[in-house]
Amino acid sequence: MIDADTINAAFHCLRTEQLSLANYTALETRVRTEIESKKAELLALGIIDGKNAEIREGQLRDRLASEHLELSEAQGAVAEARTGVTIAQIEVDRCKTLLRLLEVTRPS
């Protein structure tokens, strides 16, 4: 039904998924920071010179297209990692529930 290997595997999987989520979240944060830094640099250098916010934002988007693609990929990886954590947590919870059930139904 449930044994130490199953429990250890569930907790190991949860740990692995949590580390993955942390790494992808850090990547997403780094890419966002790079985009903001490059935006500020382009504006300060006068390279972005649109007359209004919409035009400037469009110019920034064009200039930073590859960075925005990288951000989109990082966001997708974060979403996948969150799903992995959720699934791993469900397995850990299942193991805990089975252990409680065994304790309750075990003859005294």
**pLDDT score, position 50:** 87
Q: Answer whether residue 108 is part of any domain.
A: no
Amino acid symbol at 81:
A
User: Are 67 and 31 in contact, with CB atoms under 8 Å apart?
Assistant: yes
- Other beta carbons within 10 angstroms of residue 30's beta carbon come to 13
Q: For residue 27, give the CATH number of its domain.
A: 1.10.287
Range 46-70 average pLDDT: 94
Q: Each residue of 1-56: pLDDT tens digit?
A: 799 999 999 999 999 999 999 999 999 999 999 999 999 999 999 999 889 999 99
Q: Answer whether residue 105 is part of any domain.
A: no
Domain holding 88, by residue range, is 4-98
Q: Answer whether residue 103 is part of any domain.
A: no
Q: What is the CA radius of gyration of the chain?
A: 23
- Domain tally, the chain: 1
> Which of 31-35, 70-74, 76-80, 100-104 is least confident?
100-104
Q: Answer whether residue 64 is part of any domain.
A: yes
**pLDDT score, position 108:** 72
Range 59-69 average pLDDT: 97
